[in-house]
């Protein structure tokens, strides 16, 4: 086999491997002798073997489209019902941060999106965007059906003073997902003794107390501890209902007694999600053409909590959005650096790019 043919085959295999890794699969290997790609899916005991020869007939954009369709078809979960009628009653919405692959999702809160899963007695599978065509439905129908399937449970009884209510999920209740339902949180006012404020630090825990209560400040510390130690974190931030009954981040502007802890929680979530994104970019899709900049939490309760992007290299960079940027050994406000930046396409959370560092 000639050198050019081997290079072409390796390039095609690389496209398939990249697509599989973007979908969250990491045990992916190229067998050059058999011209195959092998991967082992979650829960599988034996590898799946993909024959690459059928993809050789096309080139350029057509090949990329064919690779996407080919891999998407393979990734449709066998445990997901094949018909919309069977799938619809099993759908549930979930609140998550960054998730590898191509699950169906829509942004709902800063750094968080709404996903849809198929909930069955022994498994929970994310709905992929590619699944919609097989069901013959559009995304809005899937999200609406998932929300409608939540129980929208309301607690009984009335609190005589502000209390903390902790919802622990046994796998079926989807308590943190209830924050996606309009007016649900505000209806807990009687049970917590005031205007409800909620925390969803991990998938199995929802904490709710009353705004202005003595419990609220302590819950920020408790939520942060759960968030930073859990294997399934969601967010350390607090949330409340707006005038339309939609869940929004809890507001604590400068001068508010909880401003420092609210700001710290916002920064922690940003750092967490940008760190996860950076790890995925380095592991799944290395970018030798641009450095993936780190985001850090800096400051203190007294001076204020901030996020800082680290611009280490004098060359192309992918910067996270931040309050300030460390350029070499000098700290610059974001507003000073922003005019030389452009939005980098295809990143969530957003990243910004520039060709070189500003002069000292």
In the structure, what pLDDT confidence band is assigned to residue 209 with cuts at 50, 70 and 90? very high
**Are residues 347 and 296 part of one domain?**
yes
Q: Is residue 30 part of a domain?
A: yes
DSSP state, residue 67: H
The pLDDT, as a whole number, for residue 11 is: 82
Domain boundary among 31, 49, 75: 75
pLDDT band at 286 (very low <50, low <70, confident <90, very high): very low
The answer to whether position 287 is within a domain reads yes
114: nearest Cα among 142, 94, 98: 94
Nearest to 251 by CA among 260, 243, 240: 240
Residues 169 and 233 in one domain: yes
Model pLDDT for residues 144-195, shown as the tens digit of each residue = 999 999 876 666 667 767 888 888 776 678 999 999 999 999 999 999 999 9
pTM reported for the whole predicted model: 0.78
**Would residue 157 count as lying in a domain?**
no
**What is the crossing angle of helices 60-75 and 3-22, to 10°?**
50
CA distances from 15 to 12, 115, 200 (A): 5, 26, 37
Residues 230 and 289 in one domain: no
- Residue numbers of the domain that contains 215: 165-251
Total domains, the chain: 4
Q: Does residue 360 form part of some domain?
A: no
Report if residue 177 sits inside a domain. yes
Same domain, yes or no: 279 and 343:
yes
Residues 49 and 26 in one domain: yes
Indicate the residue among 148, 174, 196 that finishes a domain.
148
323 domain-assigned: yes
Same domain, 288 and 340: yes
Does residue 159 fall inside a structural domain? no
338 CA to centre of own chain: 25
Among 25-29, 33-37, 268-272, 327-331, the range of highest mean pLDDT? 268-272
Specify the pLDDT at position 341: 93
């Amino acid at each position: 086999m000639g050198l050019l043919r081997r290079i072409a085959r390796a390039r095609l295999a690389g496209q398939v491997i990249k697509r599989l890794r973007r979908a969250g699969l990491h045990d992916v290997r190229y067998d050059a002798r058999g011209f195959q790609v092998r991967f082992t899916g979650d829960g599988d005991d034996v590898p799946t073997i993909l024959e690459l020869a059928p993809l050789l007939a096309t080139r350029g954009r057509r090949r990329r489209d064919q690779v996407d369709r080919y891999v998407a078809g393979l990734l449709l979960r066998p445990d997901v019902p094949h018909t919309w009628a069977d799938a619809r009653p099993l759908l549930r919405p979930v609140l998550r941060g960054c998730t590898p692959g191509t699950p169906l999702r829509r942004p709902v809160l800063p750094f968080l999106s709404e996903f849809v899963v198929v909930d069955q007695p022994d498994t929970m599978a994310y709905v992929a965007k590619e699944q919609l065509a097989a069901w013959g439905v559009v995304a809005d129908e899937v999200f609406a059906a998932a929300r409608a399937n939540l129980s929208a449970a309301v607690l009984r009884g009335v609190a005589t003073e502000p209390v903390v209510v902790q919802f622990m999920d046994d796998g079926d209740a989807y308590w943190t997902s209830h924050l996606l339902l309009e007016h649900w949180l505000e209806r807990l006012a009687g049970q917590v003794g005031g205007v409800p404020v909620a925390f969803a630090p991990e998938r199995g825990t929802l904490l709710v107390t009353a705004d202005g209560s003595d419990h609220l400040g302590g819950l920020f510390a408790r939520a942060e501890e759960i968030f930073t130690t859990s294997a399934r974190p969601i967010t350390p931030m607090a949330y409340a209902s707006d005038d339309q009954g939609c869940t929004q981040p809890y507001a604590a502007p400068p001068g508010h007694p909880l401003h420092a802890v609210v700001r710290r929680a916002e920064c922690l979530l940003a750092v967490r999600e940008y760190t996860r994104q950076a790890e995925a970019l380095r592991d799944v899709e290395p970018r030798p053409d641009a450095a993936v900049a780190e985001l850090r939490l800096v400051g203190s309760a007294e001076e204020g909590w901030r996020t800082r992007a680290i611009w280490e290299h004098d060359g192309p960079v992918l910067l996270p959005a931040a309050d300030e940027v460390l350029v070499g050994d000098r700290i610059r406000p974001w507003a000073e650096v922003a005019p030389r930046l452009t939005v980098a396409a295809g990143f969530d959370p957003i990243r910004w790019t520039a060709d070189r560092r500003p002069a000292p």
